Structure 1
Amino acid sequence: FLLVLIPTIFMGATLPVMCKYFATEEANLGQQVGYLYSINTLGAAAGCLFAGYFLIGFFGVLETALVAAGINLLIGLVCIVVFKKAEPGVTCGFGLPKPASVSLQLDKENSLWLAISFLCGFTALAYEVVWTRLLVFGIGSTVYSFSLMLANFLFGITVGGLLIVPFFKRKIDFRLLLTLFQFGIGLYLIFSLYQSNWILSSFIRPFLWDDAITEFWINMRNASALMFVPTVLFGMSFPVLTHLVTKGSQDIGSSLGIVYGMNTLGGIVGSIVAGYLLLPNLGSQQTLVCLSMLNFLSGMLLFATSSLFTGFIRKGAAISLSCLLFLFLLKMPNDLLKEIFLRDSFGKKNPEQLIYLKEGLTTTVAVFNDDRSGFRSKRLILNGINMSADSMNARKYMTLLSYIPLLLVENPKNVLVICFGTG
């Protein structure tokens, strides 16, 4: 927390400051914010890939952090040189502006937009926590896979920010558009649960890769199939929210900063709640279902408070949809992710051979009866990867592995070897 707090505070303040400087035309505010938001997020996605696939591997973690810090210093110096006002004979001093009261009026309408902004951030980062857990079964758990997952998440937001820009040139109901985005996110998450075995291919053993490019695109396909659609819709939602909140505001920078801050605060709370409360107690499937229900409820709230139709029709439709969702949840199977959990790098296991299955805090554990070698044995699988077995072949290589530490120490007197080279 102490390590990242100060730099992330300045990172969070950067986009509102840029929007204050560049987004100056109220008529084109949505387009300008959309472009800035997309470019900023695209840079984040590129940074994830560049750091994960190149910098850390070639230079190390510390050197990568120093490179990033150097880039920040360079940007700061360029800004000082370009934007300082040169007046001969006048000393240019540095000072912070005096704090001013926020000009955003927190009326009923703006309070709703800020609440939706918070919920968008909450669900987006909570989804990311669960997706990170599930993608282990498709792309592994290395620094490359994490970089790819995060870059894919950010790239989807970038695409969403760019796709929404043309809509600001038209006279449309942005509340209705935001409602459709929320329903779309919820629907795709439910769809992804039912099609999870198709969306996530099995983790490919490294010795079967033809080349690194093949590995990259297979992993990209898995990450994109799982998260691209909802992240695009999240990316389209933020510029719409800023357009709705800042419309008519005299201080665009502070208004946008509040929306951005609420969205980020929601992301912080969402990641904590998902990681510390929902996943440990409910598991991956029920966590995704709960989060998708939040998106559905957000959409129903936006629809119920809109000006479409009459109040009676809106409330009736919202109540009817709530009842349908409740009935759907009652009929929904609770083992939709079982096929993902019941497979390893050799393929899907037979559910009838399952002995034990448990989602833990950091790992999903599965134990099977395995008769692939012609003899009945038990096999331990963690996060979709074979770790250990009690078959004759497995016992042979594990016994041989136990000699390696002994060969590296001259004249050992006391020996203790636990799980060396296996799970």
Structure 2
Amino acid sequence: MLRLLVFFSGFSGLIYEVVWAEDLAVLFGNTAVAHAAVLASFLGGMAAGYAGLGPISDRVDDPLDFYGRLEIGIGLCGVLAPRVFASASAWFAPVFLLIPTALMGGTLPALVRAAAVRGADSGEGLSGFYGINSVGAAFGVVFAGFWAIANLGLALSSSVAAIINVGVGLGALALSRWGPTAGATFAADRAPGFPPTTGRVRTALLAAAFLSGFAALCYEIGWIRLLALVLGASTYSFTVMLASFVAGIALGAAVMRRWIGRIRKPVFVFAALQSALGIAVLAGTPFYPKLAFLFHWWAAQVPRVPEAFFLYEAGKCAFCFAVMLVPAALLGAGLPVAAAADSRGEKIGAGIGRVFGLNTLGNVIGALTAGLVLMPLLGLRGLLSAAAALNLTAGFALFAALAERRAARWGGAALVAGTLFAVFGGPWDRGELISGSYLHRLNAPALTRAEFAEQKQEAKILYYRDGANATVAVTHGWEILQLRVNGKVDATDGLDMTTQIMLAQTPLLLRPEAKQVLVIGLGSGVSAAAALTHPVDQVTVAEISRGVVEGAALFEKANGGVLRNPRLNLRVTDGRLLLAREEKRYDVIVSEPSNPWMAGISDLYTREFFEMARSRLNKRGLFVQWLHTYFMTDDMLRLVIRTVAVVFPDVQVWTLGRDILIVAGEGGVEVDLDAAAARMRAPAVRRSLAGALISTPASFFALHAYDDAHARGIAGWPGPINEDGFPLLEYAAPKGVFLGGRSELLDRNDSRMEPDPNRRLLLTRWLAHTGELTPEDFDVLFQFHWTFKSAFAGKVLLEWARHYPNDEKVREMLVKFAEAADQRGLPEKAKQIRALLGPRRG
């Protein structure tokens, strides 16, 4: 019964960690500093709980009753947490977090002493409870990450965990009444079979526990970055990573439970485990980049149907185990041994609290320094190697303190060999790691090893940085520059130029009087450069990654040296945080974050973010949201448009091939067509638009595909919306990537080139103002949409043929279309196209 309670305690604890991390990311932003501070608060509370509540568990008459009260206290905090995070100031939330986490830290010492009072061996009890709790934690991560948040939302998920905690607490209180625990004493002064640990040995043991905790967080942060490059940075990937890490710890603790009662030299064993851990990590590092090709091969084997999604994620688990299982198991086996070695007699709670507290304090320091300092300073491989060196150092120091000369010599040799290997082992093949091989094309066969290597060699790395927030690289291959963030291409100077340019040009042509512009996401710098072709006073850019800023400098030919422009106000920060904490207002806000399937990015697609953006707009201001149609289902596309429409009175949709712009504002996006056309003739604007394949007013106005009524019609209402507390998109979007398809919702409902008596679309209004399209207009329109394989290209071609049947260009394109229809086995379609050719008209 007690083991079942311990399982569910771990289960609820990791639900809290996953849910509260989401809650606090909204409050503090998604910067590395914010994540480190939240993790440090969580772990700091646990360290305080181990150190402060561990000794108390030695003094209470009934430690099981004490444990039950701790669990109930955690549950009550779980009920309060969503309300506190929703209403608290930024400084109070982490202070509140210290309370439940401190109570969590007190549970393990109380449990082990309760078991010891009931006659169990303290060492076996510690390993057993630690292992069972970790098993529950792994299941809790999976439950929260794969089902609870997506179906219940954050607040209700926290409440479920709270109910579990209260149930565990009540169960422990009931169990404490059934056994003779009150007033029981130990039969020995220390745990059976363990000699006392004193003097320099004890000092070395506690120092090693601290270093082990520090190294563990370095590993966790390093492995998460590594596996994000291999598996993709979706929320499901991070769920699998965390669950695998915790499962490895559980395995190690479970194995140690069977052996800990036979150990006579626990400090020696802990030293050996530390040395083995360092060696295991160093031995594995040369093989880590090869995982990219292996995952590419695996992804190609899985059928891209909804039913296979969880099989695909299970495959990720195997890759996580390949990296983490052995080292995590050694971590899980070592800590109970160290704690048991320092636990003596009635001070068992204090001993466990002291060792686990110091270990968790090492976690805290690791959380604050691994990602923010060591990763940028040493790089990903350097971080993992440095952590391994710490484990080897801890093992050597313990052997030396024990005066185990032979073991110390072996430990010293391992330390020297490990250091030499870390320094001279050679660099990783970064090209494989940043290849983005996890984005395997739908139904495409896997590349062979030789083809994969050839593709990698084609992309020459010009810039690489393992930064605090992401691994950023700039590559040159296939005659284009690519900006890669965690392996995924986020910007290029190729066909992406159209989207990057039009993100800024569209709202500024609609509002030529705009003076203050905010661009969220620097990327290649092209959008900011496009905005600066207009007579604006300032363009503020919020970019979360310093590596992206440095990488953008290599796109100088495409962005015109925008980083040196005096009107650019570059802010290296979270864009949402900037809007939340500053009162400045803007005439145009452009949001071009990365894809919403990447963990944390969904915060820039929620109702609360759109409300924040609306509150920072000046009168007649415009908000522009970028979105893609590839890797999206119709329901996902509707979800985003519907969420914007809930916030803004007027919503318009502009199409750019596979990308769309959602342009929103107050009370009708009114446009002065003549002013927009005049601005297009400005030399700097004209050159910028040429890079987007836009050269005439008609070709610009034709991008306007949906007015407010039509956009709301396809979005549907009522329906779900994407919210901070219910991040539907973050959990739906990775499934769209897995399926690999594209939403054709906008293509199916496209009404351009059809009668528009209400003049809802700008192209209709322009034609009413200037007359019908010229052959040049048709040519530019067709070439643009044909380049992006847009279904609208066919409509343009048909109208071109109807208006100008003798135009040589249109006749040439009709012949090509007919031949293409024949090749695709569509004879009736080919016949209809040839009928349009007919005889030339005089």
CA distance in 1, matches of 2:490, 2:302: 16
The answer to whether residue 200 in structure 2 is matched with residue 113 in structure 1 is: no
1:258-286 CA distance string (max 9 Å, x none): 11211111111111120221012221111
Q: Which has the higher contact order (CA 8 A, sep 6+)?
A: 1
**Residues 213 and 360, structure 2, Cα contact 8 Å, conserved in 1:** yes
Q: C-alpha deviations, 1:166-189, integer Å up to 9, x for none?
A: 222435533332222112211121
Q: In the TM superposition, what is the alpha-carbon distance from 1:108 to its structure 2 partner?
A: 2.6
CA, structure 1 residues 218+27, in 2 after alignment: closer, same or farther (shift >3 Å)?
closer
Q: Distance in 2 between the 1:110 and 1:271 partners? A: 25
The structural deviation recorded for 1:155 is: 0.6
The answer to whether the 8 A contact 2:395-2:411 is kept is no
Q: Give secondary structure in 1 for the equivalent of 2:426.
A: coil
Change (3 A) 1:205 1:145: farther
Q: Which moved more, 1:228-237 or 1:193-202?
A: 193-202
Q: Would the alpha carbon gap of residues 389 and 136 (structure 1) be closer, same or farther in structure 2, given more than 3 Å must change?
A: same
**Which residue number in structure 1 is paired with residue 456 of structure 2?**
349
1:242 to 2:349 alignment: no
Contact 1:202-1:343 within 8 A present in 2 as well: no
2:275–2:391 contact (8 Å) kept in structure 1: yes
Distance 1:403 1:197, change over 3 A: closer
- For the pair shown, the structure with the greater C-alpha radius of gyration is 2
Aligned to 2:170: 77
Alignment of 1:126 with 2:126, yes or no, is: no
What is aligned with 2:129? 36
Given candidates 143, 159, 164, the residue that maps to 1:66 is: 159
Aligned equivalents of 1:327, 1:4: Cα separation in 2: 42
Match for residue 186 of structure 1 among 253, 278, 281: 278
Provide the rounded CA distance (Å) in 2 between the counterparts of 1:293 and 1:105.
25
Distance in 1, matches of 2:489 and 2:278, equals 33
Taking the TM superposition and a 5 Å limit, the aligned residue runs for 1:76-225 are: 76-83=169-176, 107-200=199-292, 201-202=294-295, 204=299, 209-210=304-305, 211-225=308-322
Alignment CA distance shift 1:273-1:73 (3 Å): same
Q: Is 1:122–1:270's contact at 8 Å kept on the other side of the alignment?
A: yes
Q: In structure 1, what is the Cα distance between the partners aligned to 2:491 and 2:239?
A: 28
Query: Which one is further off, 284-293 or 166-175?
Result: 166-175
Structure 1 residues without counterparts, runs of 5 or longer: 86-103, 416-423
Aligned pair in 2 of structure 1 residues 401, 76: CA closer, same or farther (>3 Å)? same
Aligned to 2:432, the other structure's residue is in SS state helix
The answer to whether the Cα contact below 8 Å between 1:121 and 1:267 also exists between their aligned partners in 2 is: yes
Matched, 1:388 2:511: no
What SS does the aligned partner of 1:277 have? helix
Partner of 1:54: 147
Q: Structure 1 stretch 200-209 or stretch 277-286: which is displaced more?
A: 200-209
Amino acid at match of 1:224: F
1:28-64 per-residue CA deviation (whole Å, 9 max, x = no partner) reads: 3221211111111111111111011110011111111
Q: Which amino acid aligns with 2:138?
A: A
- The question of whether the paired residues in 1 share the 8 Å contact of 2:205 and 2:267 is answered with no
Shift of 1:205: 8.9
Contact kept in structure 1, 2:302 and 2:312, CA below 8 Å: no
Contact 2:340 2:351 in 1 (8 A): no
Q: How far does residue 202 in structure 1 lie from its aligned partner after superposition?
A: 4.2
8 Å CA contact 1:120–1:266 kept in 2: the answer is yes
Distance 2:382 2:395 in 1: 20
- In structure 2, the partner of 1:413 is 671
CA RMSD of aligned residues (A): 3.2
Q: Which residue is equivalent to 1:289?
A: 385
Instruction: Report if aligned partners of 2:201, 2:398 keep a CA contact under 8 Å in 1.
Output: no
Partner of 2:657: 400
**C-alpha distance in 2 between matches for 1:336 and 1:393:** 27
**How many percent of aligned residue pairs carry the same amino acid?**
27
Q: Distance in 2 between matches of 1:284 and 1:171?
A: 36
**For this pair of structures, how many residues does the alignment match?**
391
In the TM superposition, residue 26 of structure 1 has moved relative to its aligned partner by 8.1
CA–CA separation in structure 2 for the residues paired with 1:185 and 1:171:
19
Question: Would the alpha carbon gap of residues 73 and 407 (structure 1) be closer, same or farther in structure 2, given more than 3 Å must change?
Answer: closer
CA positional deviation for 1:242? 1.9
Taking structure 1 as the reference length, the TM-score comes to: 0.82
Encode CA deviations 1:328-373: one digit per residue, 9 max, x unaligned: 34422134555313444356622662232222221222222332xx
Distance in 2 (CA, whole Å) between partners of 1:279 and 1:330 is 16
Once residues 497 and 313 of structure 2 are traced to their aligned partners in structure 1, the CA distance between those partners, rounded to angstroms, is: 30
Determine if contact 1:123/1:291 at 8 Å carries over to the other structure: yes
C-alpha distance after superposition, 1:198-250 (max 9, x if no partner)? 3454465999645112212221012111111100000100121122112x433
Question: Taking structure 1 as reference, are residues 322 and 150 closer, same or farther at Cα in structure 2, changes over 3 Å only?
Answer: closer
Match of 2:330 among 224, 233, 257: 233
Deviation of residue 73 (structure 1)?
A: 2.1
Q: Give the direction of change, closer, same or farther, for the CA distance of 1:106–1:13 in structure 2 (3 Å limit).
A: farther
Contact 1:49 1:148 in 2 (8 A): yes
Is 1:38–1:161's contact at 8 Å kept on the other side of the alignment? Answer: yes
Match of 2:782 in 1: none
CA distance in 2, matches of 1:189, 1:220: 18
Segment of structure 1 superposing worse, 198-207 or 173-182: 198-207
Distance (Å, rounded) in 2 between the aligned partners of 1:338 and 1:22: 53
The change in CA–CA distance for 1:17 and 1:286 in structure 2 (over 3 A counts) is: same
The alignment partner of 1:357 has SS state of: strand
SS state of the match for residue 121, structure 2? Answer: helix
After TM superposition, the structure 1 stretch with the greater mean CA deviation from structure 2, 380-389 or 396-405, is 396-405
Name the CA distance, whole Å, in 2 between partners of 1:365 and 1:53: 28
- 2:357 is aligned, of 247, 261, 265, to 261
Aligned partner of residue 345 in structure 2, secondary structure: coil
Q: CA deviation at 1:325?
A: 4.0
* Residue from 344, 363, 368 that aligns with 2:470: 363
Whether 2:383 is the aligned partner of 1:280: answer no
Letter matched to residue 405 of structure 1: I
Is the Cα contact below 8 Å between 1:193 and 1:336 reproduced in 2? Answer: no
Asked if the contact 1:406–1:412 (Cα under 8 Å) also holds between the matched residues in 2, the reply is no
Cα distance in 1 for residues equivalent to 2:173 and 2:324: 39
State the secondary structure of the residue aligned to 2:346.
coil
The answer (yes or no) to whether the contact 2:197–2:341 under 8 Å persists in 1 is no
Letter of the aligned partner of 2:372 in structure 1? Y
- AA paired with 1:14? T
Indicate the residue corresponding to 1:339 in structure 2. 432
Counterpart in the other structure of 1:20: 113
Match of 2:400 in 1: 304
Q: CA deviation at 1:387?
A: 2.5
* Equivalent position of 1:95 in the other structure: none
CA distance in 2 between counterparts of 1:71 and 1:216 reads 27
Residue 79 of structure 1 and its aligned partner are, at CA, apart by 3.2
Tell me the CA shift for residue 298 of structure 1: 1.0
Partners of 1:192 and 1:199 within 8 A in 2: no
**Are 2:127 and 2:253, in contact at CA under 8 Å, matched by a contact in 1?**
yes
Q: Residue type matched to 2:238 in 1?
A: F
